[in-house]
Amino acid sequence: MLPEIEAFQKWLRRKAPNASTQIHYPNDLDLFFAWLNKPIEDVKVQDIDRYIETCQQNRQAIATINRRLAALRAFYQFLEIEQETPPKNPVLPRRHFIRQGLRLPRDVQDGVVAKLFSVISSTRDRAMFILMLRCGLRVGEVRNLSLSDLYLDPSPGSLPRLWLNGKGSKERVAYLSHQPLAALRAWLAERPKVQCQAVFLNRFEERISVTGIQDRLAGYCLQAGIWITCHQLRHTFGRHLTEARVPVTSIQRLLGHAHLRTSEIYLHLSDKTVQTDYDAAMQAVCRTLEGIEEGGAA
């Protein structure tokens, strides 16, 4: 890793210690400079053009490409602060960032979810993935959970809850229904009594990493003959809320969305009103067509 990237990573860690950018951005920068093989100060706008074309040829997702561009732009902005004569920022937002249309969340069919949990015997892993499925936790939020964040025995009339450190270091509360509460209690009964305050531990009795959680899920998917990502479990939670006709403002708070329009996207997955209107319209169309066909036959 270049010393400038190491300094950038330390700055990210100081600025947002709980954010994943301190991991992803340096990795993105390492990939870029390994591909370009040029000094930092010699990177041109045209180099960014070629990099985008290479990423697209490799069929990388638009979100991934835009994140790598954001990492590069943030890196050069950091150099503007740190250096007396910094290089010019080669990333131009209007020229380089790729427009992304409205994309619906990719949830998972309930039958596929059942296949996943049929192969999970570990109480720790069941608790981790049930928290994603039934409470909408992000993988990073599961990883960051500490024992002090658990409120499992609330006062009468209140639900058990988790205190989460979410995306952008924003805190929120996640409530626990019977299934995630039972799964979490089962794991806590088995959890080693160690000094580490993390709820979920790895085999070294330390806080499990995001990669460790993702690898566990990938292994279970291989056993079950399916493919699910951690974030798809969260999307499935959003769909279940929509199917239960939960108000979109409550969905926003339960999922920890900064903007209501992000939560409204879930309405496209299972809008009961639209489904009812469509079904009624198609029945009317079919009756009309049947009448026309009968009249023609007569």
In 3-state terms, what secondary structure has residue 107? coil
When the pLDDT of each residue in the chain is averaged and rounded to a whole number, the result is 89
CA 228 to chain CA centroid, nearest Å: 12
What average pLDDT does this structure show over 181-190?
96
Q: How far apart are CA 205 and CA 117, in angstroms?
A: 24
Nearest to 141 by CA among 132, 151, 130: 132
Residue 167 makes CB contacts below 8 A (sequence gap 6+) with 138, 140, 256
Question: pLDDT (tens digit, 9 = 90+) per residue, 278-293?
Answer: 788 888 888 777 766 6
pTM beyond cutoff 0.85: no
When comparing pLDDT for 255 and 149, which is higher? 149
Q: pLDDT exceeding 70 applies to what percent of the chain?
A: 94
Residue 171 makes CB contacts below 8 A (sequence gap 6+) with 163, 164, 165
Let me know how long the chain is: 298
Measured CA distances, 190 to 145, 194, 294 (Å): 17, 12, 69
Just list the catalytic residues: 138, 167, 231, 234, 257, 266
pLDDT exceeds 60 at position 96: yes
Question: pLDDT (tens digit, 9 = 90+) per residue, 211-227?
Answer: 999 999 999 999 999 99
The one-letter amino acid at 267:
L
In 3-state terms, what secondary structure has residue 52? helix
pLDDT exceeds 80 at position 177: yes
Comparing 56-65, 100-109, 175-184, the range with the smallest average pLDDT is 100-109
According to the model, what pLDDT value does residue 88 have?
Answer: 95
When comparing pLDDT for 15 and 50, which is higher? 50
Using pLDDT thresholds of 50, 70 and 90, give the confidence band for residue 298. Answer: low
pLDDT exceeds 90 at position 154: no
Helix intervals (H) in 197-271: 210-224, 230-243, 248-255, 260-264
Q: E strands along the chain, which residues?
A: 150-151, 161-165, 171-175
37 sits in the region (left: phi over 0; alpha: psi -120 to 50; else beta) called left
Using pLDDT thresholds of 50, 70 and 90, give the confidence band for residue 181. Answer: very high
Are the C-beta atoms of 5 and 30 separated by less than 8 Å? yes
In 3-state terms, what secondary structure has residue 88? coil
Domains parsed from the chain with CATH numbers: 3-96 (1.10.150.130), 110-268 (1.10.443.10)
Comparing 2-6, 35-39, 79-83, 245-249, the range with the smallest average pLDDT is 245-249
C-alpha angle with apex 65: 60 to 67, nearest 5 degrees? Answer: 135
C-alpha angle with apex 257: 256 to 259, nearest 5 degrees? Answer: 150
In 3-state terms, what secondary structure has residue 237? helix
174 - beta bridge partners? 162
